[in-house]
Structure 1
Amino acid sequence: MCGNPRNKENFDKTAIFVGVKLKLGKDDKKVEVTLGRILLRQPGIIGRDTCIVEVTSEHEEWKGKELVVKISWPAASRKSEAEFVIRAREKARSMPQGKRPDWALDHLPDVLLSQDFDYGTDSTQVNLVAFFATAIFAKEEKFEYEKRVCRVTVQERLYPLEELRTVQEYAQVFFDILQIHKWLYDHPGILHRDISPGNIMWRRTVDGHLRGVLNDFDLSAYRHDTGPSLRQRTGTLPYMAFELLIDDENGHPPKHLYRHDVESIFYVILLLCCRYMVVAKQDLDGRPILERTRVHSPFNSWYKLDRDDLKYKKCFFITKIDSFSPMANSGFTDFQSWINRIRQQFLLGFHAKNGHILRKDLGVMESFEDETLQTWVSYSAIVKTCSEFAGSALIVHNDQVKEGA
């Protein structure tokens, strides 16, 4: 099936699941899928690293669809990705206003099935829970082992950023992500909270149109949730908003806000354009392709620093006028105006916030809209910056915007 594992030259780690069949669903509605090659395996603790595998199925409702299975081990207490996606898709189908009320469906993943598998009574997981419940720790501290489940999710296959064919397509995908992120915030009330390159994907519609898709809602939360989830630090370090790296006096990160995700989208664009260069070429069929090469960049350190050091680096970059000016590399230079303007908007927003804090210390009582830094990084402000690329207007889908962020 995947060669002789003893022969390293023949052993293909992406093929270890090829041909394996899984039966999912309830007893009266079992669905069989056949696993193919591993498309993505995220680094993590062995036995907990998320794995994306291509699959096929003869299930009548899924015939003709390109599918993947996502195998993950989330905390049992966390709301499932499927819940957020299903809630969002139901909301998109019921929207009453707009030029095309259900436009958001094109920019959301399509989860077809999600099933959790618990552990047996004598499993390592259960034994660890029992061990930590009775263990004695230094200084009488308590440690509660976080119970996890094995979650298997079947969804439509999406495509990564590196498979886009032109820089213009990159721009449209990023603009789409800004739009669907705002729609999720406004209507189903969902904050994504884990924006990174791997979660910004794309599909083509049946009529061939490119659509950016915001994927992976594993760490999402409802923005009106009053529980602790919105104050749990989530995200991928190089792309996290710098404030989320700062703990308060009780050791907790701040509440996750709309603009924190916008800052993450900015970092995705920034780091792509400043750490890579692209050259436009053609494939064997004459279609355009982009050859992407990583180059030296002052931002490379963001992937090596620990949380505290990264916090200071990002704080200086995003709040100080005299910090260095980032330059987009060859092939991405049309993004330079986006990078400059969005960074300036954050600079002005944080200066407005610092001024508000100083006046408050002097006894001046006034309101401050922190969700968007007094509208400097509001949705409308960001869209004004990003609705045009290289002299051409990008496609606006979201005409269902609510006031505020």
Structure 2
Amino acid sequence: MGYRLRGRFISVLNDFDLSSIKRFLSSVEDAPKGFERTGTVPFMSLKLLVPDAIAGKVEHVYCHDAESFIWVLAWVCLRYGNGKLLRKNRPLDEWLTVDAQGCYKEKMAFLGSVLSMHPTPSHQKNFDVARQCLGLVYGSIGPFPYVPMDDEEVFRTWLKNHIPENILQGNLSSGH
């Protein structure tokens, strides 16, 4: 979902029908603290699919949401053509049949083979963007990961810098 507010584009990515939430109660108040496990497993950040995160020991931060968006973009590019779900030969089905740790392993394997993946014809250019963004995800999980902590920097470097200029200006008519 997205809208413009005071010259800025505001968006929210959600999937209420498949999401799960685990709430950890505070002795002070019964309110989310940022350590809840929320999301649809196939689209969750790699850092939220590990045992510590599932146990509520990893704070959910903006870069996890940015990464989630990147996973959704890759998913759409590979499984949908001209707005319709492919009927056969759909990649990534295994992401739907495993638990969080299994999905972590599947996504790591995917990152290792992303250059050989073939998007549907209607999503060629979108998948070029997804590949660039997935490169940043890959870099964030290495032995010496760098993930900017500032939300604006995450948005700019993980997402905005890879979006074609015409899209940033609101011109969606170029086949993207």
Q: Which amino acid aligns with 2:156?
A: S
Aligned ranges for residues 3-402 of structure 1 at < 5 Å? 102-103=6-7, 179-181=9-11, 195-196=13-14, 198=15, 229-248=33-52, 251-278=55-82, 292-294=84-86, 295-318=88-111, 322-325=112-115, 326-351=117-142, 354-355=143-144, 370-371=148-149, 378-381=154-157, 382-388=159-165, 393-396=166-169
Q: Identify if the C-alpha distance between structure 1 residues 302 and 323 changes in structure 2 by more than 3 Å, giving closer, same or farther.
A: same
**Offset of residue 277 of structure 1:** 1.7
Q: Identify if the C-alpha distance between structure 1 residues 316 and 102 changes in structure 2 by more than 3 Å, giving closer, same or farther.
A: same
User: Partners of 1:235 and 1:270 in 2: how far apart?
Assistant: 17
Are the counterparts in 2 of residues 273 and 329 from structure 1 also a CA contact under 8 Å? Answer: yes
Structure ranking higher in helix proportion: 2
Q: Which amino acid aligns with 1:252?
A: G
User: Partners of 2:80 and 2:54 in 1: how far apart?
Assistant: 39
For structure 2, list consecutive stretches of 5 or more residues without a partner in the other structure: 23-30, 171-176
**Offset of residue 260 of structure 1:** 0.8
User: Partners of 1:264 and 1:250 in 2: how far apart?
Assistant: 16
**Structure 2 residue aligned with 1:42:** none
**Structure 2 residue aligned with 1:110:** none
Are the counterparts in 1 of residues 37 and 53 from structure 2 also a CA contact under 8 Å? Answer: no
User: Partners of 1:233 and 1:250 in 2: how far apart?
Assistant: 6
Structure ranking higher in strand proportion: 1
For structure 1, list consecutive stretches of 5 or more residues without a partner in the other structure: 1-88, 93-100, 105-178, 182-191, 200-217, 220-226, 279-289, 357-367, 398-405
**Offset of residue 385 of structure 1:** 0.6
| Secondary structure of residue in 2 paired with 1:298 | coil
RMSD: 3.4
Are the counterparts in 2 of residues 233 and 253 from structure 1 also a CA contact under 8 Å? Answer: no
Q: Quick check: which has more Rg, 1 or 2?
A: 1
**Offset of residue 372 of structure 1:** 6.4
User: Partners of 2:68 and 2:139 in 1: how far apart?
Assistant: 17
User: Partners of 1:300 and 1:369 in 2: how far apart?
Assistant: 29
| Secondary structure of residue in 1 paired with 2:81 | strand
| Secondary structure of residue in 1 paired with 2:38 | coil
Are the counterparts in 1 of residues 140 and 147 from structure 2 also a CA contact under 8 Å? Answer: no
User: Partners of 2:90 and 2:123 in 1: how far apart?
Assistant: 14
User: Partners of 2:149 and 2:77 in 1: how far apart?
Assistant: 27
Aligned residues: 152
Q: Identify if the C-alpha distance between structure 1 residues 249 and 239 changes in structure 2 by more than 3 Å, giving closer, same or farther.
A: closer
Structure showing greater relative contact order (alpha-carbon pairs closer than 8 Å, 6 or more residues apart) = 2
User: Partners of 1:238 and 1:298 in 2: how far apart?
Assistant: 13
Q: Which amino acid aligns with 1:379?
A: F
Identity of aligned residues (%): 18
User: Partners of 2:73 and 2:51 in 1: how far apart?
Assistant: 26
Q: Which amino acid aligns with 2:149?
A: E
